[in-house]
Amino acid sequence: MTSDRWAEINRVLDAALGLAEAGQLVFLREACKGDGELRSEVESLLAWHNPAQQFLSQPAFELIAEELAGERPSMLGQQYGPYHILSVLGVGGMGEVYKARDTRLNRTVAIKVLPKHLSERTDLRRRLEREARAIASLDHPHICALYDIGQERGVSFLVLQYLEGETLSQRLKYGVLPTEHVMRYAIEITEALTQAHRKGVVHRDLKPSNIILTETGAKLIDFGLAKRQVMPPFSGGITVGHMAAKTESITEEGMLLGTLEYMAPEQLEGSEVDPRTDLFALGVVVYEMATGQRAFQAQSKAGLIAAILTAHPPPITTFQPQMPPELEQVVQKCLKKSPQERWQKASDLALELKRIARTVPVEENFLDPRVDRLRRRSDSRPDRPALPRIPDRKVSRLGTPTPEVRTVRPHKPQARSV
């Protein structure tokens, strides 16, 4: 698509956004008369601005403000089955996310809720159920675990592992990550994708806000847009050809789903997605971890789509010369426009990342995210003393640190596993 065409799409989109929703259809009918392709492109972009999408992207503080103002009944303090709602955590890909207490097992959990006024929508209920099926099929240390699913008083919900930490998007606000952390998280996310793809699950919405950095490493969350690949019963293994053959999907053909900045070209074009779609998004995420910059940037949505489809981001070493040159090659292969030219399997990508990681100089305790958080605080306070060594803490099966403290033994580089 030419730059003139994108300029035309952008002009019509900007004009439509200035109108009420009821007037947008009338405007598009006139503005795109005789040009069905133009209308289809603009309508796809307008879908990002409908009320449902705006609700689903609200930050937690806005939800709390609405509850206090009485615009929606508060769920705080309520009980759903054995789960007592404690506080608002934020918003996932769909609905609200709360911190809750499991009164049966006496543990903290996260509850992803589809409120009553959204539970009436069949498509959203099916999305929540599909997310549950996707997560239930996965068992991996770097994927958030599913504990339960339920429905009560018109509210549908998932009960998930409660993770203490910060999202990668929150961490990136402080700037680029140390090289060793970039490598560690890239490997952990890739291994999580390897497990998902082997089980026939394509995430489709990999982005920094769907990655939580905890004391035990990165955790991939929010499979609300995941696409389950239906495998032939006779298949002895998973290949890209098999996975693209037949899929479960509740979305209309050509509908844009995901987060624009991290979408692969085939998603933007409404084509079939497969595991290589996730590997494109992974390349965008690793690029951002390593440089602190988005791989694709523009002043408008239409411009951003054009950049993803046609542009190539500057080399990582342009921003961070200390990054391994091999990482640049890995990321550039992830960002190939054609899926056939990308990494074909997450497992192969994980092996290459581990090979590169073995060449990265390692400082003691680099695997502990607490060191990174303390370093950021120390950097903002030059008068503070040097950072102390941070001892490891044992972690219980439920993920809660126990009081016992032990001394950290120096890592031997030749024995280190990443």
Query: Considering Cα of 8, then 260, then 297, then 347, what sign does the dihedral take?
Result: negative
- For residue 113, which amino acid is it? V
* 144 class by beta-carbon count within 10 Å (0-12 exposed, 13-18 middle, 19+ buried): buried
| Residue 405: strand, helix, or coil | strand
- Listed in sequence order, the residues at least 6 apart from 118 whose beta carbon sits closer than 8 Å to its beta carbon are 52, 55, 95, 124
Report strand pairing: 155-161 vs 107-114: antiparallel
* 284 class by beta-carbon count within 10 Å (0-12 exposed, 13-18 middle, 19+ buried): buried
Q: What is the biggest distance separating any 2 CA atoms in the chain, rounded to whole angstroms? A: 73
Q: For residue 205, indicate whether it is catalytic.
A: yes
Per-residue CA distances from 319 to 170, 181, 186, 292 (Å): 20, 17, 18, 8
Q: Which one of 4, 102, 205, 368 is the catalytic residue? A: 205
Residues involved in catalysis: 205
